[in-house]
Amino acid sequence: MVIDLRSDTVTKPTPGMRKAMAEAEVGDDMLGEDPTVNALEARVAAMLGKEAAVYACSGTQGNQLAIWAHCRAGDELLIHHDGHITWYEGGAAAVVHGVTCRHLSGPGGMFDVADLDAAILPVDQHYCRTRLVCLENTTNRGGGRVWSVEQAMRVADRAHALGLRTHMDGARLMNACVAGGYSPAEVTAGMDTVSICFSKGLGCPMGSMLVGTRADIAQARRGRKVMGGALRQAGIVAASALYALDHHVERLAEDHANAKRLAECLTGVDGVTVDAGGVQTNIVHFDVDPARGTGAQLAAALARRGVKMYSTGPQRLRAVTHLDVGRADVERAAEIVGEVVGEGFADTAAGGSANPYSSR
């Protein structure tokens, strides 16, 4: 048996989701004629309290459409140094838009007004024009942490006062809402655009959405065409997202509980350090003692025993719970971590799941 904790992107569609996809009414989305895509766009825009939405192929594409809508070549965006846009999107901000990323600091992948103020450059021909502030909720490399409504609004209000636009990378936004006890509209009220991904915790085979004003989404839709994201009978996959919004949101609490349980079990493993109290959603980061070996070596050794995780740093591994793993799976995974660390693994060649460059 394989316990795959590399990412919540590895999920398979449930039988109910497959049925919804098979029965979806479709049309040509590029012509605005796919009724299922249209229904999904309208639903997500309303859910987040925004005017319009555009369906995208992936979370990365959704974020890049936001940059397309807000920035021009020579601009810069401000983002936490652990943000997905700067780490895992192939340098697309620079390659596609000619936009640079400048990094902010803060605990758990989040920053606050003081961090933002310290990064503001004067208007001068020598500098990039600062244009956009990007938040990530939940924070991937930050450990699945959740922005509070108050902090997100505080940062958004300050950004707007400085004449900047705001974007939230909400790849796991529904995880944040379940854990934070707020609605999508509440936590994104200060955002000009928001992306939400359906292929993470919601368990869809693909798809993302960008929401914002009608003007911004019109610009983003043009960007989708330029980036090769023109869609035709996309209702087949959009149906999976509608199904997930009806059936897979409340169950995210199970993933969070399983992640917490995994972290608690790992606290008993000699040679492993984990902040079990800091686990808020479905992401668990833990570190292995350098005297035992590297994170990549441990990930490779675990893969040989049927437990898949990613190494995300010299000593760090990441495990992500999802709808295809249960409590017994995470408990067994922790047992295997203990066995492998106890047996020794430093001579294991890095490979397989020891990929430090996981996109999500």
Examine the pLDDT at 255 and tell me if it is beyond 60.
yes
In a domain, 182, yes or no: yes
pLDDT at site 198: 98
Candidate from 121-130, 155-164, 278-287, 302-311 with smallest mean pLDDT: 121-130
Q: Do 130 and 176 belong together in one domain?
A: yes
Examine the pLDDT at 352 and tell me if it is beyond 50.
no
Query: How far is it, in rounded angstroms, from Cα 313 to Cα 333?
Result: 20
| CATH number of the domain enclosing 312 | 3.90.1150.10
Residue 126 belongs to domain spanning = 14-247
| CATH number of the domain enclosing 166 | 3.40.640.10
In a domain, 175, yes or no: yes
Query: What backbone phi and psi angles, to 5 degrees, belong to 253?
Result: -60, -30
Q: Do 171 and 256 belong together in one domain?
A: no
Tokens describing residue 275: 């902040």
Instruction: Work out the angle between the directed axes of helices 35-47 and 235-247 (0-180°, nearest 10).
Output: 40
Tokens describing residue 113: 């007004």
pLDDT at site 348: 55
Q: Do 122 and 156 belong together in one domain?
A: yes
Q: Do 187 and 95 belong together in one domain?
A: yes
Q: Do 142 and 277 belong together in one domain?
A: no
Q: Do 161 and 199 belong together in one domain?
A: yes
In a domain, 314, yes or no: yes
In a domain, 358, yes or no: no
In a domain, 5, yes or no: no
Domain boundary among 193, 226, 247: 247
Q: H-helix or E-strand containing 64?
A: helix 59-70
In a domain, 356, yes or no: no
CB 145 within 8 A of CB 186: no
In a domain, 20, yes or no: yes
Q: Do 165 and 260 belong together in one domain?
A: no
Mean pLDDT of the chain: 95
Q: Do 154 and 284 belong together in one domain?
A: no
Tokens describing residue 308: 């898949």
Residue 214, classed as helix, strand or coil, is helix
Tokens describing residue 232: 């035709």
Q: Is the pTM of this model over 0.85?
A: yes
Q: Do 239 and 320 belong together in one domain?
A: no
208-212/193-197 β-pairing: antiparallel
Q: Do 152 and 18 belong together in one domain?
A: yes
In a domain, 8, yes or no: no
Candidate from 253-267, 284-298, 336-350 with smallest mean pLDDT: 336-350
Render pLDDT for 174-212 as a digit per residue (tens, 0 to 9).
999 999 999 999 999 999 999 999 999 999 999 999 999
Average pLDDT estimate for 272-281: 97
Average pLDDT estimate for 69-78: 97
Query: How far is it, in rounded angstroms, from Cα 34 to Cα 14?
Result: 23
Structural domain total, the chain: 2
Q: Do 140 and 265 belong together in one domain?
A: no
Q: Do 243 and 257 belong together in one domain?
A: no
Domain boundary among 247, 273, 298: 247
Query: How far is it, in rounded angstroms, from Cα 265 to Cα 260?
Result: 9
pLDDT at site 357: 44
Average pLDDT estimate for 47-66: 98
